[in-house]
Amino acid sequence: MKPQVGLQDYPRALQGALTALDLEAIAAAAAILFEAWQNGRSVFVCGNGGSWSTAEHFAADLRKWSRVPGSGGVRAQALTLGPLATAYANDHEYAEVFSRQLSDLARSRDVVVGISCSGASRNVINALYHAERFEGRSIALTGPDGMRPHWFGNFQFKAAQLEIRVQADDVRVIEDAHLAICHMLAGEVRDRIAQSQEAEKPSGAADRILAALEDQTRS
């Protein structure tokens, strides 16, 4: 087990992890999520342990926080329904609890977000790679070493199309940073939705011209 950061050093460790984040990768992930919203596609989020809770939190934020007046939120869902997950684990294996749900729910070009601090969670790796089956997009939130590859026989494949890594060794710091990334993504998606809604509104000058034409018609 890796040594954890002590109490006095924890704030500095978390600040360092957040400062080192790849903002370009986060922006790229936000673009994928915004595109999903634009096209009415679904976003499925998964993880284990603390990442299970983060997955639920992120899905809730994408649906609720991204809403702006005149629009709905992102169609996001966490693959964390306990009875269903344990049923798949019991009847098949735990490595398939998320990918089998995607087989039931996912449609063409939907998005999968997998959260794994170690990058070694087999069920998350399987879920991310499963996106290939429905021509979907995949985003991984992970730790300093990235996601391990998906193995098919003797062949290995990249698990996720896009990775956002947290440069930290303490799993608590990684989990905290993952939640911060989720908040960044939800806020950025909300801003993009708001901008798109604003762009669709007629300009003030156009409104005045239309009003003047209507007045002329009535007179």
Give me the pLDDT at residue 219, please: 45
pLDDT at 80: 95
pLDDT band at 207 (very low <50, low <70, confident <90, very high): low
Percent of the chain with pLDDT over 70: 90
Q: 205 or 123: which carries more pLDDT confidence?
A: 123
**In contact, 39 and 106? CB cutoff 8 Å:** no
Give the pLDDT confidence of 105-159 residue by residue, as tens digits: 999 999 999 999 999 999 999 999 999 999 999 999 999 999 998 877 777 888 9
pLDDT band at 94 (very low <50, low <70, confident <90, very high): very high
In the prediction, which pLDDT does 72 show?
87
Q: SS3 for the chain, per residue?
A: CCCCCCCCCHHHHHHHHHHCCCHHHHHHHHHHHHHHHHCCCEEEEEECCHHHHHHHHHHHHHHHCCCCCCCCCCEEEECCCHHHHHHHHHHCCHHHCCHHHHHHHCCCCCEEEEEECCCCCHHHHHHHHHHHHHCCEEEEEECCCCCCCEEECCEEECCCCEEEECCCCCHHHHHHHHHHHHHHHHHHHHHHHHHHHHHHCCCHHHHHHHHHHHHHHHC
pLDDT attached to residue 199: 78
Q: Compute the average pLDDT of residues 64-78.
A: 91
Lowest mean pLDDT among 37-41, 50-54, 135-139, 209-213: 209-213
Give mean pLDDT, residues 94-109. Answer: 96
Alpha carbon distance 83, 87 (integer Å): 6
Residue type present at position 186 = A
> What's the pLDDT score for residue 214?
57
